[in-house]
Amino acid sequence: MTATTYRQIVLAARPTGEPTSANFELRQVPLPEPGEGQLLLRTIWLSLDPYMRGRMNAAKSYAPPVEVGAVMAGGTITEVMKSNNPKFKPGDILAGWIGWQEYAIADGRGMRKVDPAVAPISTGVGVLGMPGMTAYVGMRNIGKPKAGETVVVAAASGAVGSLVGQIAKIEGCRAVGIAGGPEKCRHVVEDLGFDACVDHRSPTFAADLQAACPQGIDVYFENVGGAVWAAVLPLLNPFARVPVCGLIANYNDAAPPAGPDMSAVMMRAILTNRLTLRGFIVSDFQDQQKEFLEMVGGWLREGRVKYREDVVEGLEKAPEALIGLLKGRNFGKLLVRVGQDP
């Protein structure tokens, strides 16, 4: 039961500053047949993530930009509908990267089979997918939390931040989250088990953060930048580690913010406190995927790791949802339900 046409969302124009709906275009295209060695995939879940804003720019980054007129990139959970590839059979569920579209032809390379018996398949783009692995490899390779230390993470109710803090707790650390608004902060402490969560919208945010970190900060998992980073910097302890994973506060910037130039202050803090700042991309640690799935999969089964999803219904809602994500409007891992479960 396959359609003869399907929908996809392409990048219509590059945004300047905040993206708008005019930057996206919904297209209806004919459904192709898979060729030799190929699969026809039907999208069930599309993951929306902050990095997508970067792909909308023409600027050089760690991944090539999405071309204007091309399908928006994105992680997906798909079902194999037809297979001309002996490695896959109809009904297989695959985590992969087919982007913002209801169907796609693919050869299966870079795709990972998801076992629905282990966890809901949506976790394949969440806590057991790229966001979860980002948290895991950033903490394991750069954050290196030691028992008794204080770990701070922003976007603490989000897909990455929520796991960062839960890993910190598993490692015996004090976990302090930063989130937008009392409802998210309550969730971070009561449901996810962080020791504290500070609302970055509060006028007393910097003082609140300091109060929540009486022993200073040993690991700051950086995924927002901007005012949060400015508040964290003076609290970092000697030899603190800062995995730099994302900078959502700056993704819509068309030019550097106004002065004063705080880069000199930052360099001075790096020097005098012997900080380590290290940027990373999850794919730099691809060889740790198996370990990640075993470790976090195990914690998930044991109930030591929890996650929350924020589900948007229908591919056509993806642009609005991504625009909202960049403003912190989502609450939990943001997913678009593109098609029904098998």
What are 208's two structure tokens?
Answer: 């609140």
Cα angle value 258/268/242 (rounded, 5°): 85
If one asks whether residue 238 binds a second copy (CB under 8 A), the answer comes out as yes
Give the nearer residue to a second copy in terms of CB position, either 214 or 260.
260
If one asks whether residue 3 binds a second copy (CB under 8 A), the answer comes out as no
Sign of the four-CA dihedral 60, 62, 67, 72:
negative
Residues that bind a second copy (rule: CB under 8 A) add up to a total of: 42
If one asks whether residue 64 binds a second copy (CB under 8 A), the answer comes out as no
- The conformational region for residue 274 under phi > 0 = left, psi -120 to 50 = alpha, else beta, is left
The rounded distance, in Å, linking the Cα atoms of 138 and 170 is 15
If one asks whether residue 255 binds a second copy (CB under 8 A), the answer comes out as yes
Which span (56-64, 111-119, 129-137, 331-339) binds a second copy, by CB under 8 A?
A: 56-64
Query: 61: which residues sit within 8 A by CB, 6+ positions away?
Result: 54, 55
Cα angle value 58/60/64 (rounded, 5°): 75
Give the nearer residue to a second copy in terms of CB position, either 133 or 315.
133
CB 260 → a second copy: shortest distance, Å? 4
Residue 257's SS3 state is: coil
CB 323 → a second copy: shortest distance, Å? 21
Contact flags string 275-314 toward a second copy, x per CB under 8 A: xxxxxxx--x------------------------------
Among the listed residues 256, 287, 303, 340, the single contact to a second copy using CB under 8 A: 256
If one asks whether residue 268 binds a second copy (CB under 8 A), the answer comes out as yes
The rounded distance, in Å, linking the Cα atoms of 246 and 50 is 8
Neighbouring CB atoms inside 10 A of 79's CB total 19
Give the nearer residue to a second copy in terms of CB position, either 31 or 247.
247
Among the listed residues 1, 117, 271, 287, the single contact to a second copy using CB under 8 A: 271
Q: For binding to a second copy (CB under 8 A), which residues are involved?
A: 60-62, 222, 225-226, 229, 238, 244-247, 250, 253, 255-281, 284
